[in-house]
Amino acid sequence: MWFLERWLDNPATVRKMVYLLYASLIISCLLGFVVQYGMAPPEHAEEHEGFAFEQIPVFSAIYGFICCVAIIILSKAFGHAGIMVEEDYYDK
């Protein structure tokens, strides 16, 4: 599929995609505010009141970021503490 290649090898497109990412980050946060403060809760939604931490603005974004960083760093630390071994470990 030639178009994929032409797109992704073109620095201009890549730059555009980076801008698109920034834009979507901002838009998603803005929409988060709108949903939290601007909209009446829909009829069927949420028989539960939600957790207190969910009241923090853009909680999901913050949580996602922290979790991702934590998963990467902690797992790698765990792995390098003796869990990751040579590929022929079991053959020896």
Partner 1 sequence: MISDITVPPAAIFIIGALLIPLFRGRMKQLYLLLIPAVAFLDVLYIQEGTYWIHPFLEYDLILGRVDLLSKCFGYVFTIAAFCMTLYALHVKETGQHVAAFIYVGSALGVVFAGDLLTLFIFWEFLAWSSVCLVWYRRRKASIDAGFRYLMVHVAGGVILLGGIILYMQENGGSIAFDAFDYGSPGTIMILIGFLINAAVPPLHAWLPDAYPEATITGAVFMTAFTTKTAVYVLARGFAGVELLMWLGAIMALYGVVYAVLENDIRRLLAYHIVSQVGYMVCGIGLGTAMALNGTTAHAFCHILYKGLLFMGMGAVIYMTGKNKLTELGGLYKVMPLTLILYMIGAFSISGFPLFNGFISKSMIIHAAALDHNAIIFLMLGCAAVGTFLHTGLKLPYFVFFGKDAGIKAKDPPVNMLLGMGAAAFLCTLLGCYPQILYRILPFQSVEYHPYAPAHVIGTIQLLLFTYVAFLLLIKKLAGEPTISLDTDWFYRKGGVLFMWALHNPLARGTQWTIDATLAVKDFAVWFSKNPAEALGIVVDKVCIKVLRISEGVTAGEESAEKVLASRIQAYPGEPVRRDPIGVSVLLGTIFLFAYLVIYVVAPHLSVYSMIGLLMVALLAGIGVRVREMMRGVEG
Residues 6+ apart with CB under 8 A from 58: 29, 32, 33
Sign of CA pseudo-dihedral 67, 73, 79, 82: negative
CB of 92 to partner 1, least distance (A): 10
CB of 34 to partner 1, least distance (A): 8
Contact residues for partner 1, defined by CB under 8 A: 1, 4-5, 8, 21, 24-25, 28-29, 31-32, 35-36, 39, 41-42, 44-48, 50-51, 53, 58-65, 67-76, 78-79, 82-87, 89-90
